[in-house]
Amino acid sequence: MIKKKILQLIDGLNFGGAEILLVDLVRGIKKSGYDVSVGYSTYGPLEKNLLDLGVTCTNLPRLGRIDPILLYGMCQLILRERPDIVHTHLFKSDLHGRLAARLCRVPVVVSTSHNNDVWAKRFPLGIIYGLTARLTDRVIAVSDEVRDYQIQYTGIAAHKITVIENGVNVQRFSNHENAGRALRDEFQINADAPLIGIIGRLQPQKDHVNFLRAAVHIRSKLPDARFLIVGDGPLRDELVNQAQTLELGSSIIFSGIRQDIPAVMAALNVLVISSKWEGLPVTLLEGMAACRSIVSTSVGGVPNVVSNGESALLVPPEDSLALASACLKILQNPALAQSLAHAGFERVKKDFSLDAMIDKTLKLYERLLESHVAHTGS
């Protein structure tokens, strides 16, 4: 039997929720017997993870948001690979990949909508995105909130959208206590010092300024508290300057990109998600899998994953005082911290497994391929 071929297209391979999800999905697809390859525009360290899996990766040069060079490169790649399915991720790859796949007569085209992105509310980007979604056989939304958001702001027809929630490999985050202690030693953080961390790309969506302002409030109550910012991005210099302006000094650590996220999680007392908007953040699921106490803004799909006061503490976006107060509440109440962490772990283990996400995606692929054959006879 000839293996079915799947081409995944994504904007880049830097560390981010969608990118990590792609690597996990590709691993599962390959394990299930499909032939899978990846095309991307912006180089990132996750390419090595894919190459280690034996996956062919192709860099696709691009110029701007609406880009004929990128479209041409995708068409060339599709004609060379001849995939049965093209699956696109993130704005540029969705926009150009859908059109390229249809121009090259790919049997099945799928996109994943990972986020409630603010551009969807802007004319004409939301309209253009919704129009190109008509070229897909299905759009996967990572949460009910993302589905509803896409219907409202981009006009994607409800029947085009299937919700498949993000998943995480829970086992990957177990038994990393020694690695967590080693990470604290690396950054000269006392074993007893409260450590509050945020993990994510340094970009406006994640609202690291909110985190830094909350750090000032926390430090005024707990002077030995330390704050770890994991990730990199276009706002790095601006955030470093902001930390200096707020006089956070040596209490704040910018670690850059780390590949040892389970160790990072094990080192933290509190994981913070301070985002202005989200879909269903992979970092949230990873923190739950690592049995961490979590404080998050109540945005996107977050409230459907964790319940305020039961499996996490939720606060309004852009409210640094509320964010700080929630962190302090956990740090000053060990019983609450343990209860939140345990409930979060049980929730992610039961309802957000990586195997379930991969299985649902593969079954969707199979249904769409069968439907194509039924309609075309080929």
Give me the pLDDT at residue 64, please.
Answer: 76
If one counts every other C-beta atom within 10 angstroms of the C-beta of residue 158, the result is 9
Q: Interior CA angle at 109 toward 107 and 110, to 5°?
A: 145
Give me the pLDDT at residue 1, please.
Answer: 47
Give me the pLDDT at residue 123, please.
Answer: 87
> How do residues 350-362 score in pLDDT, each as one tens digit?
999 999 999 999 9
Q: Please, what is the end-to-end C-alpha distance for the chain in angstroms?
A: 15
Q: Please, what CATH class does the domain formed by 170-351 belong to?
A: alpha beta
> How do residues 27-54 score in pLDDT, each as one tens digit?
999 999 999 999 999 999 999 999 999 9
Please say if the pLDDT value at position 378 is more than 90.
no
- Between 65 and 256, the more confident residue is 256
Does CATH place domain 5-167+353-376 in 3.40.50.2000?
yes
Which tokens belong to 151? 């219907």
In which band, very low, low, confident or very high, does the pLDDT at 215 lie, cut at 50, 70 and 90?
very high
* CATH 3.40.50.2000 residue spans of the chain: 5-167+353-376, 170-351
How many angstroms separate the CA atoms of 285 and 168, rounded?
6
Give me the pLDDT at residue 2, please.
Answer: 67
**Residue type at 241?**
N
Please say if the pLDDT value at position 230 is more than 60.
yes
How many angstroms separate the CA atoms of 285 and 324, rounded?
21
Q: In what order do the strands lie in the sheet with 226-230?
A: 252-256, 226-230, 195-199, 270-273, 293-297, 313-315
Give me the pLDDT at residue 119, please.
Answer: 86
**Residue type at 270?**
V
User: At a CB cut-off of 8 Å and minimum separation 6, what does 319 contact?
Assistant: 210
Residues in the chain: 378
Contact 347, 14 (CB under 8 A): no
Residue with tokens 């040892």: 260
Please state the pTM of the whole predicted model. Answer: 0.91
Give me the pLDDT at residue 317, please.
Answer: 98
**Rounded (to 5) percent helix, strand, coil in the chain:** 50, 20, 30
Please say if the pLDDT value at position 375 is more than 90.
no
Give me the pLDDT at residue 377, please.
Answer: 74
**Residue type at 75?**
C
| Percentage of residues of the chain with pLDDT beyond 90 | 94
Average pLDDT value for the chain: 96
> How do residues 177-206 score in pLDDT, each as one tens digit?
999 999 999 999 999 999 999 999 999 999
Backbone angles phi, psi at 244, to 5 degrees: -65, -40
> How do residues 104-130 score in pLDDT, each as one tens digit?
999 999 999 999 988 899 889 899 999
Q: How far is CA 134 from CA 115, 157, 161, in A?
A: 19, 8, 11
Residue 294 host element (H or E): strand 293-297
Q: How far is CA 209 from CA 128, 189, 205, 248, 370, in A?
A: 32, 22, 11, 12, 49
Give me the pLDDT at residue 187, please.
Answer: 98
DSSP alpha helices (H): ranges in 32-176? 46-52, 68-81, 91-103, 125-133, 144-153
Closest CA to 344 of 306, 309, 314: 306
Residue with tokens 């499909």: 34
Closest CA to 323 of 194, 184, 198, 143: 198
Please say if the pLDDT value at position 221 is more than 50.
yes
If one counts every other C-beta atom within 10 angstroms of the C-beta of residue 49, the result is 20
DSSP designation for 2: P
Please say if the pLDDT value at position 25 is more than 50.
yes
Please say if the pLDDT value at position 328 is more than 90.
yes
Which tokens belong to 152? 């409202």
